[in-house]
Amino acid sequence: MRAHPPAPGLDPRLHDALRRLDLRVVRRLEGLLHGEHLGLRSGPGSEPAEARLYEPGEDDVRLMDWSVTARTTTPHVRDLVADRELESWTLLDLSASMDFGTGRAEKREIAIGALAAVNVLTQRVGDRFGAHFLHRGRVRRWPARSGKAALPALLATVAAAPRATPGTAGGAAFADAVDDLARTRGRRGLRVVISDFLDTPPEAGAPVPWERPLRRLAARHQVLAVEVVDPREIDLPDIGLVTMTDPESGRTREVHLSAKVRRDYRAAALAQRSAVRAGLRRCGVPHLVLRTDRDWVVDMARFVVEQRRTAHRLARHTPAVPR
């Protein structure tokens, strides 16, 4: 098989790594996905899409809709939708807490792998995919594209993003990033939210800040929530006195990991994970958990297979609607 040349400006070593990731993901998931898309909704036919505000630096000026622009006195563009095109958008949390990991990899690496896996599957049928990043308190956008060069360019952009500096927390929160995705991407399609959800309060019944925007997102799109977890965020080892640093605030504190401290920590961590599951369940969003100490490809494959089985069971028990 002829090797594809690296994308312009992409490190050849990174290109080789992405090519191996592409083959690995496709070989292990191919045959388990019956259908063209991860999502259950297909895109509309070949017709102009709805007009939307022009995003400087992201949109092609050749797609300018001059009629709408003249009526509103505000620049608008109108996209063209190809046959059976699905537009998928991924929200990737790159906050400081994602730069942590004690297993096979850091949470950030697992999250980028999940981003790559989803987009590898969608780009194989010519669909467009874009991304929003929560990075250093700002929501950054990567425009939707299609083609073989789009994914290496996207992953190269993510790889080049500097790590968040501890103690620089502030600006946009995760809930703000979800709200931005729901507000700016109106055309129906697949939405994937990848985060550790660590800003979820562990108290039972406490309001979850990201629940309302995620519920609004799920009302219009098919949404998949990917939670990235490290085992040390659930349980602490018996190692005595340790120095801990909060990656978001930069605060440092010495803690003696006694049996009581470890027990209370585990109870609080499990309560927080339970709150995340409950919030996602109320939003009606499928929940995939990827751990840094497990093979994330196998976990993703099992999850997708189970989702397909559930969809098939629902299709069999749903009565046909007469036309």
8 A C-beta contact, residue 54 and residue 64:
yes
| pLDDT on residue 56 | 85
| Residue 96 neighbours by CB under 8 Å, 6+ apart | 163, 164, 165, 166, 168, 169, 247, 248
| pLDDT on residue 35 | 44
| pLDDT on residue 269 | 92
| pLDDT on residue 29 | 56
Beta strands 76-81 and 47-53, pairing class: antiparallel
Domain 12-44+85-315 grouped into CATH 3.40.50.410: yes
| pLDDT on residue 58 | 75
3-state secondary structure of 112: helix
Q: What is the domain partition of the chain in residue ranges?
A: 12-44+85-315, 47-81
Give the CA radius of gyration of the chain.
Answer: 21
Average pLDDT, 10 consecutive residues per value, the chain (323 residues):
46 57 56 44 49 82 89 85 69 91 88 87 71 91 84 87 71 91 87 92 79 93 93 89 81 88 92 92 93 89 78 61 45
| pLDDT on residue 85 | 60
